[in-house]
Structure 1
Amino acid sequence: MSKIDPTARVEDGAVIGEGTEIGPFCIIGPNAVIGANCKLIGQVTVIGHTSIGDGCVISPFAVLGGAPQDLSYKGEPTRLEVGSGCSIREGATMNVGTIKGGGLTRVGNGGYFMNNSHVGHDCMVGNNVIFATSATLGGHCEIGDFVYIGGLSAVHQLTRIGPQVMVGGLSGVRDDIIPFGLANGQYAALEGLNLIGMKRRQFTKQRRATVQSFYQKLFHGPGTFAERLAAAQPLAGEDPAIAEILDFIGKRKHRPICLPAIEK
């Protein structure tokens, strides 16, 4: 059975999963659904139409399901969905979506969100991400699996970050970052591939060398980027990671592709 501290306020209609602990002074709204075996340590606020998966641990002063920071929002019943096994630390915030953005903010499984990190409205965040202290997403961002965003970094609205990317601390990300990329800087530039992350994901030495060779041709070869991109298309068959990078670039939406500083 769930365990609810007598000082917590759980509104009628809220659903609390089996084995979940609601600590002192938590506020749980009437449209909240909290999965099994979660632990809300204390002074956690879960409001709006928010669902939280099983096994999440949420630290004090986190606010999940708050209204979007968007002037067009008029109180519509939009949603926030948080996956299972997430750790959400002190003061982290995640907002529900907006009607114009599809009405949903989604966070995947196994994420680690350090203190004061923020997921804006209508963002789509993948699995096993790490947001360091005060890492911030503007609205409508798309973040792939196994992404690491360094402390005090901010991602501009409508930006895409591919899977297995590492963003350095104190970075301002305003361009789309290719899968497996390493980006850093006040106006973040591409500095190479996240080779340590690739190694952790069981990429062999040969695969890493193949993708590195492709990267050098695409971003540091002769000619313009558009010319190099066209020439690189036949390389998609050399490795699935190369195909993934090319597909990501081909699906460009609102932002340009993040390039090395020499290209900017």
Structure 2
Amino acid sequence: MSVDVIRARALDGVAHGFLGRRGGVSEGLFASLDLGRRSQEVDGWITENRRRAIAAVAPGAALCTVYQVHSAEVVTVGDAYPHEARPRADALVTDRPGLLLGILTADCAPVLFADRQAGVVGAAHAGWKGALAGVTDATIAAMERLGARRTSIVAAIGPCIARASYEVDDGFVATFTGPDPANERFFAPGRAGHHQFDLEAYVAHRLAAAGLTRIAALGLDTYVDAPRFFSFRRATHRGEADYGRQISLIAAD
């Protein structure tokens, strides 16, 4: 089975892809294109999966990722670095050809950015904590420091957990509505004391509020599509011991 590469029409002309879980070599709970490096790696699963992911999107490029911590920290990448030396952050930007930026997710929203004219790209991991803290705003600002123009940046939000699958409690809602009561619109009523959170819509709102005018949301729910995507929340609900991570990639020309 070939690697499942989902592309956003808004990013046509830019080497990119939101990869699903198909087309790799890992097995069991991690079948088959798991990119989350962990101690139980067997027979080079992750190494081979990384090779396949790179080949599917930007053959020959050097893959750069970060040690994700649900923050608004952004790294500007000037040169390739080994996986073991990856910095603690949740977004990357670059203007260097030959570099491939990667973000891992398993329900959080992956966001890919590009200013084709400036030759600047970015990738952000937007879980609810990072999204609320402003990881997408920080990514846009970092791209501008490399010469991108906010009015020229295109962003695409990849597969993430959808509102129908994302139940939260009253305290979670207060975390969002405290700073801005208007954020209530991203929550739909649920069972008593609970609500359904629309992470994708919230991220799109943050991108629009930052001044981006071209935003694509793919509308793909990681939770409900087990054959195609890994999902932390689905694994938790099933009582599984662990879960895999898919990768989203973008490269500068």
For Structure 1 versus Structure 2, the TM-score category normalised by the shorter chain is: under 0.3
Higher helix share: 2
TM-score, structure 2 length as denominator?
0.27
TM-score, normalised to structure 1, is: 0.26
Bigger Rg over Cα = 1
